[in-house]
Structure 1
Amino acid sequence: MAAGATTLLDQAVLNIAVPSMRQSLGATGADIQWIVAGYSLAFGLSLVPGGSFGDLHGRKHLFLAGMALFLLAGVTAATGGGPETLIGARLVQGAAAGLVNAQVIGTVQDVFRGQARGRALGLYAVTGGVATALGPPLGGALVAGLGPVAGWRCCLLLSSPCAVVTLALAARWLPPPRRTARGARPDVLGLVLLCGCTLALMMPFIRTPDSGGEALLWGTAVCASAAVFAVHQWLRVRRGRQPLVHPALRASMPYLLGTAVAMAQFGSSLAAFLVCTVFLQDGLGLSALLTAAVTLPGAVGMGMSSALAWRLVRRIGERTVTVGLTLGVGAALTAAAVALRMPTAVLPMALAGTQLMSGVAGGLTVSPNQTQVLQHAPAEAAGVGGGVLQMAQRIAAAVCLSAVPAVYLHAAAGPPGGSHPRAGYALACCVCAGLLVVALILSLLRRAATPPRPSACAPTTPTAVAPRAKETT
């Protein structure tokens, strides 16, 4: 929980400081996209090897090493003198955060079973919600109190005390290292191919293609790298080697569909939050502190609904995820309508309401979906299973954090001589709603693909069945 709070607080605080950081550093839009999306990309790509190494060599030492590297990279980013230094430090910090979180998921899988595992993951999600709730007001207060130059640097340093405390707690309380899988070489080439595919998918949004031929070239690169990755994974299995994605995970349709749900939901929520903060500050001219006040209800709603989601799961089961995604689609479409129709005077308050809806929707979706996905991960691949899930989420986040802001900026610029930030924000909200609709469809398919479980209350004795047989006769 402490690790989740530390890594998520860092990202939540930085998002609110993006406009002041851009002005202070003179960074381009591409620089900002790399600073924000690069963290998620490195985070995701380090999860699977981190989980694999944790399965092979134990988790405690890797957790401590990753948290120490996260601390050092955060200090480097806060004291950097230019966009290039900040981009490099954030890439390292994201990789360290991925290494740490791979051990978190693996440890939860090792220590807890059944409903206890679901509650542990629920508390982990609540911690993330609380950290996300604290991030915007703390970041807004720092930028407002210290100014745009020192403010965003202190935002990046805010996670450092948390990292120190987490290191002390982990050294004392984490279980001793133990192996849960036999030795196997990590699939380094598979990881490189996956990274290349993701970068090819991100680049058209970070660097707008000059022509249709360049866009076609990037699309061809995505398809080619994905095909090579698939062939490579097949060959690894044929040769008896461990592929990047464990064969047992690829064979589980509920696991694959649940992971796809997590990708669409996670990418949509992070991109929507980033676009909202940029729209409030650059489009409406609000201060960082007022922007934090508008986005705060969303984080509070997510924390509260995450804490209560497991109760709803006990009542309606997997339909909890469907309810959450449906509410998320409604929140995104409402935000788009509000941005287009509401007067400027009441627009921030109306957007705060849509943020609350979106936060509640996220709390009802993230933890229940994560628990359902990990139920299908085999014990010998617990760390890898959790790592693949989070890797998929972070890769989706990296792509969405590049694509959705690019959609907003392009639409907000409008034709020459005019600026339309409201239209840009509405369009970005519609894109996020579309992603959630995809997640909703995949969630319904996952429910259909999941084998039915015998009910604990089902009659099992002949005397209990006899009345039903008589009624049939």
Structure 2
Amino acid sequence: MSGTETGTGFARRDRLVLAVCLAAGFTTLLDQSVLNIAVPSLRDALSADAAQVQWIVAGYSLAFGLALVPGGRLGDLHGRKPYFLFGMALFVAAGILSSCAGNAWVVVVSRLLQGFGAGMVNAQVIGTIQDVFSGPARARALGLYAVTAGAAAALGPPLGGALIAAAGPGLGWRLAVLLNAPFGLAALVLAARHLPRRRPVEGRAGLDLPGIALFAALTVLIMLPFIRSTGYAVYGAGAFLAAGALVLQQYRRARAGRQPLVHPALRRSAPYALGTMVAMAQFGASLAAGMVLALFLQGALGLSAMASAAVMLPQALGMGATSVFAWRTVRRFGEHRVVTAGLALSAAALLASGVSTLYVPAAVLPALLAAFQFCAGAATGLTVAPTQAQVLRHAPAEAAGVAGGILQMAQRMAAAVCISAVSGIYLHGAGSGAAGLRHAYWYAALACAAIVGAGLVVSVLNRRVSRAPAPVPEAPAPASAAPGKELAL
């Protein structure tokens, strides 16, 4: 490993590798934050129905999560550069296809392809950082990646809003969806020149493709009732069977001496499992709440894309404000207390946001929602990075290499389910006129608050079952990952 630093920072070769990783992270994370603002215009232009909108917004996270573990293992086995280039090329090509679509189902397919490409890329990004950097240099590189993620989350809505405002809704959403293309092409050029070609590999770890397929089937079966609003019993029975088949398949694969999708040691670690559930709740609720808020602001309040972006921007500002002192707070009060307090603040902000839409006049509502967005962002800054550090610290040593990938895959699957469920509550429950949309948003916000509340209960339980906490490490940088944008991908 390298990761040596000069008096002015990283060594030149390492700076170039890090630039590739940051460009890739910025590109894939910017794409999702832009889409939230563009979806209302996209829906109107393509006459997309509720199910198509749900697949457009949830399919990306679904495919992203499914690509992470196999992408990381393929990179371990054969070198990260070819899979990085393949993933980024697929991501850019699918984005171009999406921007040219004349039918909503074309956008659905392209978003699935984009999500798969983004997952493949991000699996190589963190793997590359771990390969190239070590010690303090690795911590600093991860900190810079977190800053980049935050910048992408903050810049996405205003950039998308500006494009839609300048070009009009019909062309503007296409330009917003295409926004990732120049960044992706730049990342491809940088990667082709500067990514390490291959890293030595010790041993082989097979891909658990049957496990991944069963996990995907389970996730989709949980999503489908919310997308179709029918067949709850049938899909519920299917999900139950898929879950049972997954547990049995994982057990048999481990007994046969082959590496399962979820390392057996991770299943035996209660703090890891409970912490992962907390991260899933926070992640899924955050993305779902942002998606529904964008729909509500433009659909119910009639705000422009740019004005909606202004209402949503304080979330990124709140996150940045609390991330500056989050690790100092953790060192003083402990990770469990800080995470629990962050979840409580998040649930309160969601509830207050939902209640305000029922009773506050439209003229004042955007400013009030912006204030609640700031509170939600502040909660994220207190929650995301400490939760991840807490979870990964409790990962057994023999499973440390796969713990981060499983954590993020679980978060992405949670996001796919939460987005489809909460957007379904909003889209299918919306009545006629602004009053109906206000009630639909209240139910969606209540659902998000319930998800976060479940995470809060699990966090309290996790504090009781966890071992005495180890010393808290120094923060890699005064920044937390953006809402739903993991520090360790």
Superposed pair shares fold, TM > 0.5: yes
Q: 1:54, 1:383 within 8 Å by CA — same for their partners in 2?
A: no
3-state secondary structure, aligned to 1:80: coil
1:433 aligns with 2:444: no
**Distance in 1 of aligned mates of 2:451 and 2:257:** 37
Q: Is the 8 Å Cα contact of residues 144 and 287 (structure 1) preserved in structure 2? A: yes
1:329 lines up with 2:329 in the alignment: no
Letter in 1 for 2:72: G
Preserved CA contact (<8 Å) 1:103 1:383: no
- Alignment of 1:450 onto 2:466: yes
2:265 pairs with 1:248: yes
Question: How many Å separate the matches in 2 of 1:248 and 1:412?
Answer: 45
* Aligned-residue CA RMSD (Å): 2.3
Q: Describe how 1:51-90 pairs up with structure 2 within 5 A.
A: 51-90=72-111
Between 1:359-368 and 1:246-255, the stretch displaced more is 246-255
Letter in 2 for 1:399: V
State the structure with more CA Rg. Answer: 1
Most deviating of 434-443 and 276-285: 434-443
Taking the TM superposition and a 5 Å limit, the aligned residue runs for 1:283-302 are: 283-302=300-319
- Unaligned ranges ≥5, structure 1: 457-473
Matches within 5 A, 1:416-431: 419-431=435-447
CA contact (8 A) 1:48 1:387 kept: yes
Q: Identity of aligned pairs, percent? A: 56
Q: 1:128 to 1:308 in 2, by over 3 A?
A: farther
What is residue 477 of structure 2 aligned with on the other side? none
Cα deviation, 1:205-250, whole Å, max 9, x if unaligned, reads 11111xxxx3211110010100000000000011111111122322
Aligned 1:252-331 pairs, distance under 5 A: 252-318=269-335, 319-331=337-349
The answer to whether the 8 A contact 1:143-1:151 is kept is: yes
Match of 1:351? Answer: 369
Aligned mates of 2:135, 2:268 — CA distance in 1:
22
Q: Distance in 1 between matches of 2:102 and 2:470?
A: 61
After superposition, the Cα gap between the structure-2 partners of 1:249 and 1:110, relative to the gap in structure 1 and judged at 3 Å, is: farther
Match of 2:382 in 1: 364
Deviates more, 1:47-56 or 1:128-137: 47-56
Q: Once the 2 structures are TM-superposed, how far is the Cα of residue 112 of structure 1 from its aligned partner?
A: 5.7
1:381 Cα offset (Å): 5.1
Superposed displacement of residue 301, structure 1: 1.9
Give the Å deviation of 1:84: 2.1
Aligned to 2:229: 208
TM-score, normalising length from structure 2?
A: 0.86
Q: Report the equivalent of 1:465.
A: none
Alpha-carbon distance, 1:454 to partner: 6.2
The answer on whether the counterparts of 1:47 and 1:98 sit within 8 Å (CA) in structure 2 is: yes
Deviation at 1:109, TM superposition (A): 4.3
Name the CA distance, whole Å, in 1 between partners of 2:429 and 2:49.
Answer: 18
Q: Quick check: 2:301–2:434 contact (8 Å CA) kept in 1?
A: no
Q: Quick one: which amino acid aligns to residue 358 of structure 1?
A: A
User: Deviations along 1:379-412, whole A, 9 cap, x unmatched?
Assistant: 7755532221111111111111111011122332
Total equivalences in the alignment = 450
For 1:172 and 1:305, locate their aligned partners in 2 and report how far apart those are by CA, in whole Å: 37
Query: What secondary structure, in the 3-state scheme, does the structure 2 residue paired with 1:451 have?
Result: coil
Give me the whole-angstrom Cα distance separating, in 2, the residues matched to 1:227 and 1:162. Answer: 42
- CA change 1:54–1:221 in 2 (3 A) is same
Tell me, in whole angstroms, the C-alpha distance in 2 between the residues paired with 1:265 and 1:455: 24
- Given residue 427 of structure 1, which amino acid in structure 2 is its aligned partner? Y
Deviation at 1:177, TM superposition (A): 2.9
CA–CA separation in structure 1 for the residues paired with 2:92 and 2:409:
21
Structure 2: distance between partners of 1:49 and 1:200: 21
Distance 1:165 1:397, change over 3 A: same
SS at match of 2:430: helix
- Alpha carbons of 1:107 and 1:246: their partners in 2 closer, same or farther (altered >3 Å)? farther
Deviations 1:52-111 (A, max 9, x none): 222333333322321222112111211222122211111111001111112233344445
**Greater shift after overlay, 68-77 or 220-229?**
68-77
Are the counterparts in 2 of residues 52 and 384 from structure 1 also a CA contact under 8 Å?
no
What letter corresponds to residue 292 of structure 1 in structure 2?
Answer: A
Q: Give 1:255 deviation, angstroms.
A: 1.7
CA contact 1:236–1:242 (8 Å) conserved in 2: yes
- Aligned pair in 2 of structure 1 residues 119, 433: CA closer, same or farther (>3 Å)? farther
Unaligned 5+ runs, structure 2: 1-21, 473-489
Letter in 1 for 2:239: V
Give the CA deviation at 1:129: 2.0
